[in-house]
Amino acid sequence: YLGPWIQWEGRQAVLFDLPARKFYLFEWVFWPQDFFYLALLLMIMAYALFFFTTLAGRLWCGYACPQTVWTSIFMYLEQRFEGSRNQRMKLDKAPMSLEKFARKGMKHSSWLFVAFMTGMTFVGYFYPIRQLVPELATLSTGFWQAAWTVFFTLATYINAGWMREQVCKY
C-alpha cells in the first residue's frame, strides 16, 4: 500500500509509466532498451521468493501473500461488525431487522473501502497516485484509470470477501 506514496527526488519512487515507456524504481530509471535488467531483477526476486519459501516453509502463504493479508483484514472486519462465527451464524438465520441491516451494511462498506484502497493503490503504480486520488475524488479521471480501479476494487472485494475459502485452503 505504501509503494506509490513514497516520493524520491521529487517524483513517485515506484512508477511504471507505460505511455512514457519509463519504469522508475527509486533512483533507477529503466527504459525499453533496459528491459533485460528489469527482467533480471524480477527473476532474482522470483527465485528469492522460491528459495525463502522452500527454506522457511509457508512464510509466503502464511504471512506475505496479498490474498492472505486481504483475507485476514476482511475476516477481522467481519468479526468486528458481526461478531464470532456463532454470532454470525445466528445473525444470518435471524429475520431482517434494522440491526442486522446495519451490521451487514457496515461490514460490506468496510470491505468495499479496503477493496477500493487496494484497487486505487494498484493503479497508482501505473499512473501517478498524487494525481489519481484527486481525479477519482472529483470523478474527472480518464476512462482507463477509472475502469482499472473499479476492476481491481471488485476483484479484491469478491476474492477476499467470498472466494477466500476457494483460493487459499488453510
pLDDT interval class at 168 (50, 70, 90)? low
Task: Give the pLDDT confidence score for residue 118 in this predicted structure.
Answer: 92
> Percent of the chain at pLDDT above 90?
34
This prediction's pTM? 0.79
| Interval 29-50: pLDDT, tens | 888 888 888 788 889 989 988 8
CA-to-CA distance for 47 and 66, rounded, in angstroms?
18
Task: Give the pLDDT confidence score for residue 169 in this predicted structure.
Answer: 56
Task: Give the pLDDT confidence score for residue 135 in this predicted structure.
Answer: 94
Q: Average pLDDT in the 149-166 region?
A: 83
DSSP string for residues in 46-103: HHHHHHHHHHSSSHIIIII-HHHHHHHHHHHHHHHHH-SHHHHHHHHHSPP-HHHHHH
Q: Check: CB of residue 51 under 8 Å from CB of residue 41.
A: no
Burial class for 155, CB neighbours closer than 10 Å (0-12, 13-18, 19+): middle
Quick check: 165 pLDDT over 70?
A: no
Give the containing element (helix H, strand E) for 146: helix 143-161
Task: Give the pLDDT confidence score for residue 44 in this predicted structure.
Answer: 94
| Interval 89-139: pLDDT, tens | 888 898 988 988 999 999 999 999 999 999 999 999 999 999 999 999 999
